Amino acid sequence: MKILAFNDVHTDLAAVRALVERAAEVDLVIGAGDFSAQHRNLDQTLSVLSAIDKPALLVAGNNETDAELREAARGWKSATVLHGETVEINGERFFGLGGAAVTPWDWSFDLTEDEFETALQKCPPGTVMILHGPPFGCLDKFGDRNLGSPAVRNAVERLQPPLVFCGHIHEHFGTTATIGDSRIINAGPKGTVISFPA
């Protein structure tokens, strides 16, 4: 199956329209959070994305909550918002969890390490993960600091998902890395198309 993954469009409607066009060529679309800009213009962004008729799996970023995303995505008939849930598409399992590791911003949708750990216990081994925040030490460097979640990293090491889609750290847009046999992907707002299984 061909997957178009993206994250962190932050209401960039030109980028969103380009993603809608590219979605015609794939089997599944994955949006790994931050559709809005600090909780603004989420409806407008999702309205444009709702033209995608392929199955789409979405998680909230830290710029919108899972409840806000579910409400905004109600008109997008082919989209499913995940927050601590697993779905199966074309015989493959996908687990989604929104939010990011705790930030200094009071508007941000953050999860504590305990909240990440509890939610990730629901993820079956070998399941594709769709997250917003990256694992600690992997695609999470901002300046000289690692901003990823240790609980996410522990879950990736334990569960060995074949793919982990994440975002949040703009400096890593369009890059991939690995943890064990797991491929970690920060597709960025322009999106990345991958074939899965490879």
In 83-149, beta strands by DSSP E: 85-89, 92-97, 100-101, 110-111, 128-131, 141-142, 145-146
Using CA atoms, how far apart are residues 124 and 95, in angstroms rounded to an integer? Answer: 8
Using CA atoms, how far apart are residues 107 and 179, in angstroms rounded to an integer? Answer: 31
Is the pLDDT reported for residue 165 higher than 90? yes
The two three-digit tokens of residue 70, written as one number: 């579910």
pLDDT band, very low/low/confident/very high, at 198 (cuts 50, 70, 90) = confident
What are 151-164's pLDDT values in tens digits?
999 999 999 999 99
Entry pTM: 0.97
Alpha-carbon Rg for the chain in angstroms? 15
pLDDT at 166: 99
What are 51-74's pLDDT values in tens digits?
999 999 999 999 999 999 999 999
pLDDT at 97: 99
CATH topology (fold) of 2-195: Purple Acid Phosphatase; chain A, domain 2 (3.60.21)
What are 120-148's pLDDT values in tens digits?
999 999 999 999 999 999 999 999 999 99
